[in-house]
Amino acid sequence: MKLAKILGSVGVVSAAALALAACGQSGSSNNQGAKDAKKFPDSTPKKATKQGGTVSVALETDTPFTGIFSDELSTSAIDSSVAAPGEESLFDTDDYYRINNKGAATMKLDRKAKTVTITVKKGVKWSDGKQVNAKDLEYPYEILANKKTQAQRYDSTLESIQGMKEYHEGKAKTISGIEMPDGENGRTIVIHYKQMRPGMYFSGNGYFWESAAPYHYLKNIPFNKLQSCDQIRKKPLYFGPFKLDKLVRGQSVTWVPNKYYWRGKPKLNKVVIQVVNPNSASQAIKSHKFDITGVINSQWDQVKNTKGVNWVAQVPLAYSYVGFKMGKWDAKTGKNVMDKNSKVANKSLRQAIGYAMNIDAVNKRYTQGLSFRVNTLIPSGFGAYHDSSIKGYNYNLKKANQLLDKAGYKKKGKWRVQPNGKPLVLHFATMSGSPNAEAITQNYLQQWHKIGLNVKLTGGRLMEFNSFYDKVQHDSKDIDFFQAGWNLASEPSQGSMYGETSPMNYERFVTPENNKLLAEMDSEKSFNTKYRVKVFHQWQKYMYDEAFVIPTSNSYSINAVNNKITGYSTKPSQNNNGHQLWYQVGYAK
């Protein structure tokens, strides 16, 4: 799921990115996330819709948007929001991101033949009236894999398609594993895989692409010019409900209905999306400048009494976490290597640090209750895969002290020392950015001091985003543990994040048990959902116990929606690859 991908490293607290985010909603019962989600509705009230009207959407960002209107080449969540009214992906999903056949195309898995067959529906037309065909389904793979396009979104998951790697490396002229049984003008492609994975049933799985590219429109542009050509930067062609009418570079886009849209005529006459400085967001909501505006959570108190809007929220697939540096990335072998002598190698120490953090109080005090504690690494938005039985590291100073005492971290004067008698100083790294970051960090430090741990901030202060990730990614010696955030893809598999060969496993945590569980998630056996769910639960328990990553919080993503608007929803089933189903949004009669 595109939106999820891009936000990842910016962290959960990134305010600007929350604008228009529309790709996740907890729907499962009896767990914390779901209970909290009910604090806000996930959709506008259902009303009869009239034809016509303009909806203006605020896009909160510090920087002008890039405006690369291509799913294959775009690299930012902001661009994705800008393109939302026009860009539709091939598949719709249910509320747990499982692909269904309600979207523009259908998908069929054949485990024996190791193929995925994608057929686009008849009548799905580009906004110039041409039917979306097989070549349009195949072309994105060429754009992604051809090195000349410099597409950031090519990845090794795609290399499980036969012939993909050869094409990427320039050894083959075509991708041998993608077949068009009815020719380029047919509506079907068959993709041949080296191995089938249970994650393929989910949107955002990365094994196949979920967008089409208008080959007839782009075919004359050389791959190295694609990123900057007018067809992608100024006059994009989509098959979604709206087509681009006007673009002011970096500032605003105006969308008008695509008369060939396959689901029928959109309700609105116009959708205007305009950039607003995040600092002005609360004022924009209070003065009703826009019909849809993302709430910056830290400004909630200023806007919460605004009349005439509906608060529509979702719990994004995301979490912030505290991670412990347990080793190093070995670039030569492409593997994470654990270091037994790491200062935080002791499990009890990590657990104690977790128990000492007063997350609930921090959330209550600093986030107006819009953030809430999460206990496990699989968000409740994943339904059954989320293990609600995990208690998490609830605030418990006594337990923290006990753990440390037992593990031999004795107190010598004010601070505890290592079991071998050497002094213990831990360095904690965290990012600046959100208005409360400083206060929250000081609170955590205080808590750790209470249990006798001498924790200092890396570099003595909060770090700017780039410096922070530079240090974390390069396993800087100045960091023993750190706080950051992830936004997740909508396929729950965890191998690409916590695997032995994943550079994003910033903790460098590798154990045979972890490897085994991660492999099981994507195994042949896991095609049985019950089994897969079981493995996910096991993994979550294991991760909880090992505590090398302690998930801390997640936050609502709230939109202020003009209360005359209906048909707006954040439910995954009412969205399409993170995009609002714009054709059904309109004004109430």
Partner 1 sequence: MWKTILRRLLIMIPQLIILSLLVFLLAKMMPGDPFSGSINPNTDPKQIEALRRAAGLYDPWYVQYFRWVGNLFHGDLGTSYIQHVPVTSLIADRANNTFWLSLLTTILTYSIAIPLGITAGRHQDQWQDTGVQIFNYITLATPGFVFYILGLWLFGFTLGWFPISGSVSANASGFWGVLGSRLYHMIFPAILYALIATTGTVQYLRTGIVDNKVEDYVRTARSKGVPENVVFHKHILRNSLLPIAAFLGNTITGLLSGSMIIESVFSYPGMGKLFLDSISQRDYTTLTALILIFGILTLIGNLLSDIIMSIIDPRIRIQ
Binding site for partner 1 (CB under 8 A): 4-10, 62-64, 66, 68, 73, 75, 147, 150, 152-157, 204, 206, 227-228, 233, 246, 248-254, 272, 274-277, 279-280, 283-284, 286-287, 289, 334, 465-467, 469-471, 473, 486-489, 496-497, 502-504
Q: How far apart are the C-alpha atoms of 291 and 279, rounded to whole Å?
A: 18
Q: How far apart are the C-alpha atoms of 19 and 506, rounded to whole Å?
A: 28
Nearer Cβ to partner 1 (152/442) = 152
What lies within 8 Å, CB to CB, of 249 at 6+ separation is 64, 67
Exposure on the CB side of residue 269, measured as CA atoms within 13 A? 5
Beta strand 549-555 pairing with 292-294: unpaired
Nearer Cβ to partner 1 (180/229) = 229
Q: How far apart are the C-alpha atoms of 568 and 42, rounded to whole Å?
A: 9
Nearer Cβ to partner 1 (333/473) = 473
Nearer Cβ to partner 1 (357/462) = 462
Give the E-state strand segments of 325-474 in sequence order: 327-330, 335-338, 371-373, 411-412, 415-416, 425-429, 454-457
Nearer Cβ to partner 1 (42/72) = 72
Give the E-state strand segments of 304-429 in sequence order: 309-314, 318-324, 327-330, 335-338, 371-373, 411-412, 415-416, 425-429
Nearer Cβ to partner 1 (239/506) = 506
Nearest approach, Cβ of 502 to partner 1 (angstroms)?
8
Q: How far apart are the C-alpha atoms of 69 and 229, rounded to whole Å?
A: 10
Nearer Cβ to partner 1 (26/496) = 496
Nearest approach, Cβ of 60 to partner 1 (angstroms)?
10
Nearest approach, Cβ of 358 to partner 1 (angstroms)?
28
- Residues 510 and 349: beta-carbon distance below 8 Å: no
Q: How far apart are the C-alpha atoms of 344 and 230, rounded to whole Å?
A: 52
Q: Which stretches within 412-525 are classed as H helix?
A: 437-450, 465-473, 495-498, 512-521
Exposure on the CB side of residue 383, measured as CA atoms within 13 A? 15
Nearest approach, Cβ of 300 to partner 1 (angstroms)?
18
Nearest approach, Cβ of 436 to partner 1 (angstroms)?
20
Nearest approach, Cβ of 567 to partner 1 (angstroms)?
22
Nearest approach, Cβ of 29 to partner 1 (angstroms)?
27
DSSP code at position 42: S
Nearer Cβ to partner 1 (252/569) = 252
Nearest approach, Cβ of 488 to partner 1 (angstroms)?
6
